[in-house]
Amino acid sequence: MKTIKDSVHDHIEVDGVGRALLDTPEVQRLRHIRQLGTVSFVYPSANHTRFEHSLGVYHLASRALDQLGIEGKNARRIEAAAILHDVGHGPFSHNVEDVIERYTGRRHDEVDDLLAEGEIAAILEEHDLDPERVAGVVAGEGEFAGLVSGELDVDRMDYLVRDAHHTGVPYGTIDHGRLVRELRISEGRVVLDEGNVQTAESLLIARALMNPTVYSHHVARISKAMLRRGAERLIAVGEVTPEELRRMDDHDLLCTLRECDRTERLADRFFRRDLLKRAVWAELPDVPDAVLDLSFDLLRRHEREIAEEAGVDPEGVILDVPGRPRIRESTSRVIVNGEVRQLEEQSPLVRTLQQAQINEWRLGVYTEGEQLDAVGRAAERVLALETDGALVSDVAPGLRTTLDRFGP
Amino acid sequence: MKTIKDSVHDHIEVDGVGRALLDTPEVQRLRHIRQLGTVSFVYPSANHTRFEHSLGVYHLASRALDQLGIEGKNARRIEAAAILHDVGHGPFSHNVEDVIERYTGRRHDEVDDLLAEGEIAAILEEHDLDPERVAGVVAGEGEFAGLVSGELDVDRMDYLVRDAHHTGVPYGTIDHGRLVRELRISEGRVVLDEGNVQTAESLLIARALMNPTVYSHHVARISKAMLRRGAERLIAVGEVTPEELRRMDDHDLLCTLRECDRTERLADRFFRRDLLKRAVWAELPDVPDAVLDLSFDLLRRHEREIAEEAGVDPEGVILDVPGRPRIRESTSRVIVNGEVRQLEEQSPLVRTLQQAQINEWRLGVYTEGEQLDAVGRAAERVLALETDGALVSDVAPGLRTTLDRFGP
Amino acid sequence: MKTIKDSVHDHIEVDGVGRALLDTPEVQRLRHIRQLGTVSFVYPSANHTRFEHSLGVYHLASRALDQLGIEGKNARRIEAAAILHDVGHGPFSHNVEDVIERYTGRRHDEVDDLLAEGEIAAILEEHDLDPERVAGVVAGEGEFAGLVSGELDVDRMDYLVRDAHHTGVPYGTIDHGRLVRELRISEGRVVLDEGNVQTAESLLIARALMNPTVYSHHVARISKAMLRRGAERLIAVGEVTPEELRRMDDHDLLCTLRECDRTERLADRFFRRDLLKRAVWAELPDVPDAVLDLSFDLLRRHEREIAEEAGVDPEGVILDVPGRPRIRESTSRVIVNGEVRQLEEQSPLVRTLQQAQINEWRLGVYTEGEQLDAVGRAAERVLALETDGALVSDVAPGLRTTLDRFGP
Amino acid sequence: MKTIKDSVHDHIEVDGVGRALLDTPEVQRLRHIRQLGTVSFVYPSANHTRFEHSLGVYHLASRALDQLGIEGKNARRIEAAAILHDVGHGPFSHNVEDVIERYTGRRHDEVDDLLAEGEIAAILEEHDLDPERVAGVVAGEGEFAGLVSGELDVDRMDYLVRDAHHTGVPYGTIDHGRLVRELRISEGRVVLDEGNVQTAESLLIARALMNPTVYSHHVARISKAMLRRGAERLIAVGEVTPEELRRMDDHDLLCTLRECDRTERLADRFFRRDLLKRAVWAELPDVPDAVLDLSFDLLRRHEREIAEEAGVDPEGVILDVPGRPRIRESTSRVIVNGEVRQLEEQSPLVRTLQQAQINEWRLGVYTEGEQLDAVGRAAERVLALETDGALVSDVAPGLRTTLDRFGP
């Protein structure tokens, strides 16, 4: 057994299949991928990596398995999935995930190919585990998969408290000890025991508060958009293949951006933290449906049109349209009066948090400071935004925005 | 200037009128009044007192005044109110406040009489402050009073984070540094600056989560009800006058309960943590309006009727009916797009939290373990509760409850 | 199994004999005894009690037993001793321990009488444990007793980190997780495993830094001396018997001091934090050996002589002579190169810390502010101190001190 | 004024010259240099960078300047030096500093050339500051330089507490608030006020405990030696110039190591955390003086001789000889009885800590696992170590060590 000191969980004990997997190149690679990508431009202390997060998820998974009395192969499978759940991440975590998915068809939790070969496959086999089923758990499928990948999963418990520790923003400071202790299995599903409606709510609230404050802070979104633009260029000019991009770490991506003629300027801005600014920041109801559903190619075309209409270099305009907010049915389940209930039945708060997600949705158009106004006006016309041409100069000079409905 | 080490704010500097007031008997008395009363029966580390809380409120008030550029007499008045804002508390803080109010007509924030005489009055006068106006600020009246007593006040900021530190429950861990930094004055009102809708929400959420988990935990409510019963007895038998009760500290109340024949048994149970149990725990819609509006005397009569019907000693039955949840308009204000807005306009969350307060409301009937069933059935009949006679044995054996609507 | 939330160890699970003992009056009484007595006059947040500390010691003991693979009756005995180790404390913990010992012959860790009867005895018997042997462990005797009462015991681990948490002074923040994990049993002794010389040193250093900063801060010593004086008076005038004093809690002692004519003034000063001041603060080499060895009665006589010579009321002079610093052989043991060694052989630091203890020793003479000079001069003569008559006005006006050798 | 959220100091306000310097490429580059280099191989959460540390140093410097009443140009110079004090670091902070110094003659605190030109020079000039004098403060010269570079400097205060936060090792958790508050200027020197002998000791102790546990942990030393070996190769084969190496960031160095034929294997081991092992770990008294004074070239020759004698590839043997422990006179000064004293006069602890530094000194010879024994024996002979040929198999199989004098 190996004991590792962690800034969040103090001592983490790694054993068996978890310990063996720890030394594989795929897991060690996570030491070089920042957990929060470009969020460190907003919160400079947020330099933690997917590696310590994976250790933390393994740690909480082990405690949850103990708590639930799950043993043997079922437990080993969950432990393996816990330590491996993030090996599919590309450089800067979620920052270039969309680019990778567009070209390879894979998101970060689709790791069956990575687990099917090499050292990982060998280790799983030694421990009598089927790589495909472990990959299934990472993707949220199979028995007890909800522990690692679900609404009450230990992944979220670890990242909320870890991100709070490293950013200094306290909203993520959940009571993970209680959450793990109160887990139960009911008909194959992970649920929280009697008396834990607030416990379940607190997890959703923590995420709801961390989201706009940390994960979707506009500075993080702008720098992410710049990085994504750079990654697209690298693929477009043949400097890297999509599959190579997927397996890069942060160092590779940054060095390659610096070395490639077509991305050198962007890299330079990135390293100087000389970021683009918002020309538009529009709320969901003010964005025509058609814009929400634009294909990747059409988005690029719109960017060029906006640049053309504004009379600026198309390289200097980025259109950033997040996906439609998904109003998923919350799958958290809590026992109330001896009966398993969905949290949303029980908690009006959950429904409100789903609404808050819609309110916080923003379409962004980013460009350089001196051309904010021109690009803002052009974007309004090209995208047919209902921004009324209002400039919100108190928030940021020259920013065309529709902030006035719900607040930032 | 005096520097005091605090477990929450690290170093607190006390100066001027604040320092002078610190040494008065009224403020030193707060060293002997636990901040959370009987909550330490649920969270054993929660033994912090109103004294360090008052220091913390003074500290945050000073920082807020700096931030807002308020100086001179206006600042001194707020600082004095900050350090004095809790001198009106009776023993065990809110626990016997209702009893004190019933007999003296004063709640803990009505302190004009305490400030009008003795050392406090002398010190205020020396610093050219009018005791009445300082008492006004404590009660939420006058310029900048919102800093000490309002929805965005430093009182709440301190107690949430302090209670979290001492109970170990993380929900109260707000970002008080940010809250203080983002305060602004707009037309005499304390508001939060642009970009702080989440900041304001986080304060309300923290309280909403701490409330059922800490402040209104059923064990805290039961032991509070026992203490209140004891205090009523002491007054009823003439052992203490209401005004004496109001100025007692925790030691006085506990010793007096132990020494008085009529309360000795209750004190014994209290010291052994041998608490009464819930026979009924009913939700708001299941409680007839008439019960909600019962006068103090009628409540006592109902208790006796329940005991009689159940055939048990009336001393061993407590009926605990909290006031109707007040759906007050939230007064938090935030600047959005350069305009001051009420938080509830901006935040659907706030309205939900008001609803949550209603859902968490409970009427309790407490008695000894062996007579739970008899008292439960009697209370249903006497109070005409719509509990359907359901026993929720999974939660607590013999408990008649209407938990099934919203969860605990 | 019962789970209790703790501000230091998060969740504490109490089970078996530990859980049964928790509900005894003797253990519940610890809720009403402050861990650090009058230290809260220096650090206002330090209001934690012996109750949560006892839970913490039980928690660490359970983890240590797991770690060492100790099970069955041996484990139960240690767990029982852990939860009971402080039931022998009088009011305000160590503050009046000397008075109690003088009259009853018992220090706080001599609890055989308390364990031999009543509920505790019954519970121990039910769990097949011998009260006498459990009391032996509390006193440091018997197998594995070093876990609860020794230089590497979990008692110290808990109090250092708990006192740091509640005072805000970080020096006690040790790595208790590592300390517990690295415990081994070697020839019946508790030792630390290979590679833990620093781990062992850190525990001693933490105490060495907490000692002058927290435990022996002069304000805590003065208020402790006042409380001790009060307790002596209560016994002298027959208000309480020594055995009653031993079983009082903080409320009892404070109320009794307030109610007794002879101690009322002292109680008044205590509640107003109107403490005596130092007239003398002398280092060990400047104090004649004879003074160090004075019996209790002679100390009292010297106090009266000092008062007489100074022409002041003897009630207002307190002579505070701590015991000689005991240069005990450190019993901490660490495995080095596979061999058990005493820490002091290995660590020059340990020897230095013993020296530091000597340097920090101080004799104090306390009195009221206006008579500092007269009492200081009188004490110099009566006690034949070598203070050279020097006044250290920079530190405290009128203070006769011999600070100049080693620092405070 | 800009407010930045920090995980250690909460909110940091940056203003004036500090704010202007923050956006220079030299300071932004520090975002890409890990504060603790390879220590993250031991403590996986320790990924914090020189950037947030520089912010922290600036923050504490500003507070210290306030505290001391230093204003105007003197204050601006210190603030500039605080934010710039680490711009001279090469990749991985101290890890390749020796290599850079050997070829460029510059250590990380010799930054006059970096401050004399470009944006930094322009900004300093705008704020009426002389780059040379600012560089002087970084190097510890000039008025008040001790605040930024001395034994009581804010650099150390920040890194101890920051490294504790990110590694999870609590030993560095000093009371920086108190240290800053108690600073005074006496005859141009930074000293601590009366009553702070323990405060000063605690800073030295924290470093003394962090040193072997964190900074000089053998795994960090081995990986540092591997990185240094790689950097030397890059220079030797002309892949980079020494000056280029000095200005690289972590990404550059790692990518270059991966891309260069001669260092690819080493990089591969580094990324897999497949580190060399200790064949020898010898204490100071067992190492001949001649070995301590070997020049760089002779060290390399000895490495080759060891490899030859052991019959292994010279690439796989690293000889790691730290400099002689410098028993510098401690320059910390504390006011005692109104007089400025050196801490070592006052504190026997300080002298012991200097001795501890000698005890913890180790010479290491590292190689691959299968050839530990052969290389260990060869190194003993070539270096004429007095290791007695003892194998300490309990600590690490095959390790030749002289641990038996003082412990690890």
pLDDT tens-digit profile of C2-43? 999 999 999 999 999 999 999 999 999 999 999 999 999 999
Chain C residues in contact with D337 by the CB 8 A cut-off are: 392, 394-395, 403-404
Please check whether residue A45 is in contact with residue A168, taking contact to mean a CB–CB distance below 8 angstroms.
yes
Q: Tell which residue, B362, B363, B403, B358, has the closest CA to residue B383.
A: B363
pTM for the predicted model, two decimal places:
0.93
> How much is the mean pLDDT over chain D?
91
Cα–Cα nearest to A247, from A88, A35, A74, A81: A88
Confidence of residue C403 (pLDDT cuts 50, 70, 90): very low
Q: Sort out which chain B residues have CB atoms less than 8 A from A341's CB and list them.
A: 407
In three state form, how does the secondary structure of C110-169 look? CCHHHHCCHHHHHHHHHCCCCHHHHHHHHCCCCCCHHHCCCCCCHHHHHHHHHHHHHHCC
**Interchain pair C31, B48: CB under 8 A:** no
Contacts of C408 in chain D (CB under 8 A): 194-195, 197-198, 336
User: CB contact, 8 Å: A293 with chain B?
Assistant: no
- Which residues in A lie closer than 8 A to residue C3 (C-beta atoms)? 181
Point out the residue among B25, B28, B271 whose CB comes nearest to the CB of C25. B271
- B351 vs A contacts (CB less than 8 Å): 352
B60 and B157 Cβ atoms separated by less than 8 Å: yes
pLDDT in tens, B103-159: 999 999 999 999 999 999 999 999 999 999 999 999 999 989 999 998 889 999 999
User: What pLDDT score was predicted for residue B405?
Assistant: 42
For C83-121, how does the pLDDT look when each residue is reduced to its tens digit (9 = 90+)? 999 999 999 999 999 999 999 999 999 999 999 999 999
Interchain pair A181, C3: CB under 8 A: yes
CB B251 within 8 A of CB C255: yes
Distance, CA of D327 to CA of D324 (rounded, Å): 9
- Rounded to a whole number of angstroms, the distance from the CA of D48 to the nearest CA of chain A is 6
Q: Residue D65 pLDDT more than 50?
A: yes
CB contact under 8 A, A352 and B356: no
Bridge partners (DSSP) listed for residue C342: C333
| DSSP 8-state symbol, B212 | I
Cα–Cα nearest to C382, from C257, C294, C268: C294
- The label of the residue with tokens 């026979």 reads B279
Contact D6 A51 (CB under 8 A): no
Taking 70 as the pLDDT cut, the residues of chain A under it are 327-330, 387-408
**Which long-range contacts does C314-319 make (Cβ < 8 Å, 24+ apart)?**
C316/C276, C316/C367, C316/C368, C316/C371, C317/C365, C317/C366, C317/C367, C317/C375, C318/C222, C318/C225, C318/C226, C318/C229, C318/C276, C318/C364, C318/C365, C318/C366, C318/C367, C319/C363, C319/C364, C319/C365, C319/C379, C319/C383
Q: Are C344 and C256 in contact (CB under 8 A)?
A: no
For chain C, the C-alpha Rg in angstroms (whole number) is: 22
Pick from C151, C202, C147: which is nearest to C175 by CA? Answer: C202
Mean pLDDT estimate for chain C? 91
Q: In B, which residues are within 8 Å of A195 by CB distance?
A: 395, 408
Secondary structure letter of residue C322 according to DSSP: P
Write phi, then psi, for D88 (nearest 5 degrees): -80, 0
Which residues in chain B have Cβ-Cβ distances shorter than 8 Å to C168? 5-8, 10
DSSP string, C51-86: HHHHHHHHHHHHHHHHHHT--HHHHHHHHHHHHHTT
Q: Where are the domains of chain B?
A: 2-215, 276-325+361-408
Residue of D nearest to B179 (CA): D11
A8 touches chain D (CB under 8 A): yes
A touches which chains (3+ CB pairs under 8 A)? Answer: B, C, D
With contact defined as beta carbons under 8 Å apart, do C307 and C379 qualify? no
> Residue D408 — very low, low, confident or very high, per pLDDT cuts 50/70/90?
very low
Q: Does residue A128 come out as left (phi exceeding 0), alpha (psi in the -120 to 50 range) or beta?
A: left
Q: Flag if D352 and C356 touch (Cβ within 8 Å).
A: no
Selection from A333, A335, A336, A330 nearest residue A352 by Cα? A330
Question: What single-letter DSSP state applies at residue A312?
Answer: S
Number of H helices, E strands in chain D: 20, 10
Q: C51 vs B28: CB contact, 8 Å cut-off?
A: no
8 A C-beta contact, residue B16 and residue B45? no
Residue with the two structure tokens 């998974």: A61
pLDDT in tens, C43-54: 999 999 999 999
B404 pLDDT above the threshold of 70: no
Contacts B–D by Cβ distance under 8 A: 11
Query: What would the two tokens of residue C342 be?
Result: 């005493």
User: Could you read off the pLDDT of C286-302 as tens digits, one per residue?
Assistant: 999 999 988 888 999 99
D11/B181 Cβ within 8 A: yes
Most confident of B346-350, C193-197, D247-251: D247-251
Neighbouring C-beta atoms of residue C212, cutoff 10 Å: 21
In terms of CA atoms, which chain D residue is nearest residue B2?
Answer: D181
pLDDT of residue A336: 81
For residues D174 and B351, give the distance between their C-alpha atoms in angstroms, rounded to a whole number: 44
Domain C2-215 in this protein, CATH class:
mainly alpha
Query: Phi/psi zone of residue C106: left (φ > 0), alpha (ψ -120 to 50 degrees), beta?
Result: beta
The larger pLDDT score, comparing residue A351 to residue B376, is at B376
User: What CA–CA distances, in Å, run from C167 to C35, C36, C341?
Assistant: 11, 10, 34
Cβ atoms of D209 and D349 closer than 8 Å = no
Sort A247 into a burial class: Cβ within 10 Å, 0-12 / 13-18 / 19+.
Answer: middle
Hey, are the CB atoms on D408 and C346 less than 8 Å from each other? no
Residues C321-346: tens digit of each pLDDT: 998 887 666 678 888 878 888 888 87
Provide the shortest C-alpha distance from residue C161 to chain D (in Å): 11
pLDDT band per the 50, 70, 90 thresholds, residue D405:
very low
Q: Which of the four pLDDT bands, split at 50, 70 and 90, describes residue C347?
A: confident
CB C228 within 8 A of CB C96: yes
- Tens of pLDDT, residues B344-362: 887 878 878 878 888 889 9
- Backbone CA torsion sign across D121, D127, D133, D138: negative
Nearest-by-Cβ selection for B5 from C25, C43, C48: C43
Which pLDDT score is estimated for B92? 97
C-alpha–C-alpha distance, residues A177 and C291, integer Å: 54
d(CA A80, CA A86): 11
- Residue D401 is inside which H or E element, if any? strand D400-401
Check if B359 contacts A (Cβ < 8 Å): yes
Cα A319 from chain centroid? 19
Q: Which amino acid is at B120?
A: I
Give the residue from chain B lying closest to A169, CA to CA: B175
For B77-97, what is the mean pLDDT? 97
D212 contacts in C (CB within 8 Å)?
198
CA-wise closest residue to D388 among D374, D368, D403:
D403
Check whether C309 has a pLDDT greater than 60.
yes
Contact A82, A54 (CB under 8 A): yes
Q: How many CB atoms lie within 10 A of CB B101?
A: 16
Q: Do D271 and A29 touch (CB under 8 A)?
A: yes
- Dist. CA C42–CA B4, nearest whole Å: 8
Spatial separation of the C-alpha atoms in residues A365 and C53, rounded to whole Å: 57
Q: What integer pLDDT is reported at residue A41 of this predicted model?
A: 97
Output b/e per residue, D120-145; b: 16+ Cβ within 10 A.
Answer: bbebbeebebebebbbbbbbeebebb
Q: Measured between alpha carbons, how far is D259 from D239 in angstroms, rounded to an integer?
A: 10
Asked if residue B325 has pLDDT above 90, the reply is no
Tokens of C305: 């002589």
Question: How far apart, in whole angstroms, are the C-alpha atoms of residue D83 and residue D58?
Answer: 5
Residues 16-35 of chain D whose Cβ lies under 8 A from any Cβ of chain A: 23, 25, 28-29, 31-32, 34
Residue of D nearest to B4 (CA): D178
Residues of A within 8 A of D40 (CB-CB) are 31
Q: What is the DSSP string of B5-50?
A: EETTTEEEEE-HHHHHHHTSHHHHGGGGSBTTGGGGGTSTT---BH
- How close are the terminal C-alpha atoms of chain D, in Å? 48
pLDDT digit string, tens, across residues D104-142: 999 999 999 999 999 999 999 999 999 999 999 999 999
